[in-house]
A = this chain, B = another copy of it.
Amino acid sequence: MTDFGFVLLASDGAARRGRLSTAHGKVETPAFMPVGTAATVKGMTSEMVTSTGAQMVLANTYHLMLRPGAERIAKLGGLHDLMHWPGPILTDSGGFQVMSLAELRSINEEGVTFRSHIDGAKVTLTPERSVEIQNLLNATVTMAFDECTEWPVTETKAAESMRLSMRWAGRSRDAFVARQGYGIFGIVQGSAYRELREESAKALTGMDFHGYAVGGLAVGEGQETMFEMLDVSTPHLPNDRPRYLMGVGKPDDIVGAVARGIDLFDCVLPTRSGRTGQAFTRQGTLNMRNARHAEDRDPVDQDCECYGCRNHSRAYLHHLFKAGEMLGPILLTAHNLTYYQDLMRDIRSAIEAGQFDEFANSVPRHDKAKQAHR
């Protein structure tokens, strides 16, 4: 069994080319994790996810604890068996969804009590229970349980929230059961306040996590502020541990974050966009529902090697979306995930070649892409 580890293979400025080793295999970084909320990347078989080039996926503690249930997944052999995904799986801690989806009941030092958005059942989530659930799911990477600070927020409230999350991070770290090839990541919080971000990063590194995430960003603060928060956070994180920017983002967000030393990403953007007819391409964003595609025999992206681009025209995708056919979301999700994986592959090559800045400038901004996070 491999030890959980991270090696830096190359760097170009602050951009890092690395390799994560886990009990479930290796991940070349920078890497993008497709989101498999309910133990499925929506509309994709695991074979299709593999064919996009993805090596690691994310699943959601909050959704899975409510349905089908953590103990049930454990009985069924864990997430890898259930999803037929032998590679590494990272699970979030549930903190973000408790805030955004659940009917929030109360939060105190101990944890959060809320009602399920599925059946109204009362549930309590604490750092210890979140880590236990992630263990039951057999997550390769467990995330510390944190409070996701609302946006916007005063500095006083942001400080209180961040400090609570740091105490929860300590309890999460303590609750984590060490297993060879498995790891737990802490999460830097502090909203858009530089001093709080620094304080948080320093507090976490003292707890010796296997990796460090930057959370609470991409919640409305804008790209400039997000990059500023990375600039003040990453210098305090240890060089020999992977860094993960949660819930981000558009291609240019990813490129900018890699330039600031981030190694791992996840975002619902390629999958959610794929289901609604929005395509990512090397020439920018296309809305496949647009009438101008109705007789276009070109593929969605000439330079893409995904199944849809190899075999179907824009006109067919247009037809499928207009007719409400499932195959539209299936093909376009696979395409968008392939676009993201190609982007990560090209980022890795550019760092290796010492040409990251040049490559970064060539990535289109996809300004028309609707913002869509976790």
- Asked if A117 is at the interface of the complex by the 8 Å CB criterion, the answer is no
Q: Which residue of B lies closest to A42 (CB)?
A: B326
Kindly provide the distance from the CB of A311 to the nearest chain B CB, expressed in whole angstroms.
4
- In the complex, whether A322 has a CB less than 8 A from a CB of chain B is yes
Check A323–B38 contact: CB distance below 8 A. Answer: yes
Chain B residues contacting A353 (CB-CB under 8 Å) are none
Least CB distance, A51 to chain B, in whole angstroms: 11
* A43 on interface, CB distance cutoff 8 Å: yes
User: CB-defined interface of A72-93 with B at 8 Å, one 1/0 digit per residue?
Assistant: 1001110001111000000000
Among B40, B47, B313, point to the contact of A82 (Cβ < 8 A): B313
**A157: interface (CB < 8 Å):** no
Complex Cα distance A46/B72, Å?
35
A276 interface hit (Cβ, 8 Å): no
In the complex where A68-B294, A330-B330 touch, is A315 in contact with B45 (Cβ < 8 A)? no
Say whether A84 contacts B312, CB under 8 Å. yes
Which residues of chain B are near A294, meaning CB under 8 Å? 68, 72
Contact of A326 with B39 at beta-carbon distance under 8 Å, contacts A84-B312, A315-B82 already known: no
Whether the pair A325, B42 counts as a contact (CB closer than 8 A) is yes
Is A4 an interface residue when CB atoms closer than 8 A count as contact? Answer: no
With A47-B307, A297-B76, A297-B77 in contact, is A42–B327 under 8 Å at CB? Answer: yes
**A45 x B307 contact (CB < 8 A):** yes
Since A45-B330, A82-B312 are in contact, a sample of 9 more A-B pairs with Cβ atoms closer than 8 Å, ordered by chain A residue number, is: A38-B323, A40-B325, A45-B331, A47-B307, A77-B297, A82-B316, A82-B319, A83-B316, A84-B312
Q: Which residue of B lies closest to A76 (CB)?
A: B315
State the CA gap A330–B40 with chains docked (Å).
12
A329 at the interface (CB under 8 A from B): yes
Tell me if B75 and A40 are in contact (CB < 8 A): no
Once the chains bind, are A327 and B47 in contact (CB under 8 Å)?
no
Interface centre among A46, A67, A322, A325 (most CB of B within 10 A): A325
Number of interface residues of A (CB under 8 A): 40
A residues 160-180 touching B (CB-CB < 8 Å): none
A320 at the interface (CB under 8 A from B): yes
Is there an interface contact between A43 and B326, defined as CB atoms closer than 8 Å?
Answer: yes
Query: Is A367 located at the chain interface by the 8 A CB criterion?
Result: no
Q: Is A44 positioned at the interface, with any CB of B under 8 Å from its CB?
A: yes
* A295 contacts B by Cβ under 8 Å: yes
Least CB separation from A66: chain B residue? B323
Q: How far is the CB of A77 from chain B (nearest CB, A)?
A: 7
Q: Which 6 A-B pairs have the closest CB atoms?
A: A84-B311, A43-B326, A40-B327, A68-B319, A38-B323, A40-B325
**In the complex, A349 Cα to B95 Cα: how many Å?**
57
Instruction: Report chain B residues within 8 Å CB of A327.
Output: 40, 42-45
Q: Which of A45, A47, A84 has the most CB of B within 10 A?
A: A45
Interface residues of A in 268-322 (CB under 8 A from B): 294-295, 297, 307, 311-313, 315-316, 318-320, 322
CB neighbours (8 Å) of A63 from chain B are: 323
Which B residues lie within 8 Å of A72 (CB)? Answer: 294-295, 315
Please name all residues of chain B whose beta carbon is closer than 8 Å to the beta carbon of A313 when the two chains form the complex: 76, 81-82
Chain A, residues 35-79, CB within 8 Å of chain B (1/0): the string is: 000111011111100000000000000010001100010011100
